[in-house]
Chains A and B, each alone.
Chain A
């Protein structure tokens, strides 16, 4: 079992550009969540995808968008990059259960640097 895989591991972009980050969930998981972790801070929830739809969204601007594919993999897109978007972006996958939660497994993240 490969666990949660994210690509790329590192990325450098220029202000104003657009970026796409990718995540493949752990085998058997159907839910993908994205988090932004600024240096020295705890992760902040961006949004969650389930059944190819955005299920919940955190306090992030519309420049942050996502997508989930039929194979449960997911993409995070950020438009019009700002210096403040520099962070570690974490993907977590889990299995949706009625009335319960399953352990969220995290990938190793994508380190995005905006210059």
Chain B
């Protein structure tokens, strides 16, 4: 079974700063996807960024980028030039490529961006 661990329950930074959220996972699969989801107070899960395990290049989406270390089973999210609208719960998630598209989520990190 796969497990996802987020060791930072809460983080807080000032607007415009850079923040990094940590995530580690455990799996015996060689091919899989990793995701970061954002859940604002509206409750809707929004995909921030995804990484295919077979790709060595780290994914980037505007101010969001990841540091994917496959051997260490680590998948951190870096948010640059943080904005007030980035305040939310952030969840790291794992998905096997084969079989049902089931997401395995971590416990989440509550990120607060202060003005």
B100 touches which one: A48, A88, A103 (CB < 8 A)? A48
Check B44–A42 contact: CB distance below 8 A: no
Q: Which residues of B are found within 8 Å of A35, using beta-carbon distances?
A: 103, 105
Q: Which residues of B are found within 8 Å of A111, using beta-carbon distances?
A: 43
> Does A107 sit within 8 A of B, measured CB to CB?
yes
> Does B99 sit within 8 A of A, measured CB to CB?
yes
B43 touches which one: A40, A56, A108 (CB < 8 A)? A108
Given the known interface contacts A43-B91, A101-B95, the answer about A108 and B42 at a Cβ–Cβ threshold of 8 Å is yes
A92 touches which one: B33, B99, B103, B104 (CB < 8 A)? B103
B102 touches which one: A33, A42, A107, A108 (CB < 8 A)? A33
Check A48–B106 contact: CB distance below 8 A: no
Q: Which residues of A are found within 8 Å of B50, using beta-carbon distances?
A: 103
Check B44–A106 contact: CB distance below 8 A: yes
A103 touches which one: B47, B97, B99, B105 (CB < 8 A)? B47
Q: Number of contact residues on A: which range applies?
A: 20 to 34
Closest to A54 in B: B100
Q: Say how far B14's CB is from chain A's closest CB, in angstroms.
A: 25
> Does A8 sit within 8 A of B, measured CB to CB?
no
A96 touches which one: B91, B101, B104 (CB < 8 A)? B101
Check B97–A101 contact: CB distance below 8 A: yes
Give the B-binding residues of A (Cβ under 8 A).
31, 33, 35, 40-45, 48, 50, 55-56, 58, 88, 90, 92, 94, 96, 99-104, 106-109, 111
Given contacts A90-B45, A96-B101, A101-B101, 19 further A-B contacts (CB under 8 A): A31-B101, A33-B103, A41-B108, A42-B91, A42-B105, A42-B107, A43-B91, A45-B102, A45-B104, A56-B99, A58-B102, A88-B43, A94-B101, A99-B97, A100-B97, A101-B97, A107-B44, A108-B42, A108-B43
